[in-house]
Amino acid sequence: MIAMKRTTITSGLAISALAIAAAWVALATALIPLFAAEAVTVIAFPVLVLSLGLWWRAPGGEEDIPFIGY
Give the pLDDT score at 1: 42
For residue 64, tell me if it sits in a domain: no
Q: What is the pTM assigned to this prediction? A: 0.74
Mean pLDDT, residues 21-35 taken together: 96
From residue 25, give the alpha-carbon distance in Å to each of 20, 39, 54, 67.
9, 14, 27, 32
Evaluate if residue 4 carries a pLDDT over 60: no
For residue 67, tell me if it sits in a domain: no
The tally of domains found in the chain comes to: 1
Rounded to 5 degrees, what are φ and ψ at 42?
A: -65, -35
Higher pLDDT, 13 or 69: 13
For residue 49, tell me if it sits in a domain: yes
34 Cβ contact list (under 8 Å, min separation 6): 27
Residue 44 burial (C-beta neighbours within 10 Å; 0-12, 13-18, 19+): buried
Evaluate if residue 38 carries a pLDDT over 60: yes
For residue 29, tell me if it sits in a domain: yes
Domain that holds residue 19: 2-59
